[in-house]
Copies of this chain bind each other. A is one copy, B any other.
Amino acid sequence: MPDHSAPRVYLAGPEVFLPDALKVLKEKADLARVAGFDPVTPLDNESLAAGSPFDKGLAIYRANLRLMDGCDLIIANLTPFRGVGADPGTAFELGYMAARGAKIAAYTNRATPHFERIRDQHYQGQITQDPAGEYRGPDGLVLENFDMFDNLMLAGAIAEGSGILVTHEVEDTRLLYRDLTAFRRCLASFQDTEEQSALFGTAE
């Protein structure tokens, strides 16, 4: 029984790539519903398009855009994915929702800041400081050093789009995309805030 007066939230994140994606997404959707939201997940509109692999991918893209267009906010799982940064697909969705003026909240299951992850995980500590004071890897690329959890476009969008970012260190890598502690806190962060009034107080 979806409550159409509840704010509709798009639950973005790389958990869609898990073998038990449907189970994890159902758990997230259930938690969101209990918190007063009307949840939508990227697999809700899983396309049955025929055609080439590319056509199938494109159909999923279009379906995800339609889902996002119907949502008032996005809660993005920005846990680093196959590297030191967030999943580029989820980053795209965050940008899409930012341009739509949607509310933006996020969580990550890595508590280490962006700068340290790049320094320790990507460059194994082999960084140097240039004459201008910037830190660079052996490949010459600068390490963003803004005291942020990820790239400044992502951190900026969250700061401007609700301020709700929950970071939580999940030690067990098998649970990296499954642990919902941070997601639960993210949902709870909407309680008793002006974000809540903005989302729940007006019938659009």
Contacts and interface: CB of A to CB of B under 8 A. Distances in A.
Report the interface size class on chain A: 35 or more
Interface of A: 14, 17-19, 52-54, 56-58, 60-62, 64-65, 81-89, 91-100, 118, 122, 130, 136, 139-142, 144-148, 150-157, 159-160, 173, 177
Given A61-B155, A88-B86, A88-B154, A146 B19 contact: no
Nearest to A152: B57
7 contacts: A54-B148, A57-B152, A61-B156, A81-B85, A92-B92, A97-B99, A99-B99
What's the dominant secondary structure at chain A's contact region? helix
B84 A155 contact: no
A164 to B, nearest CB: 15
Given A91-B92, A92-B91, A58 B152 contact: yes
A93 B140 contact: no
A159 B58 contact: yes
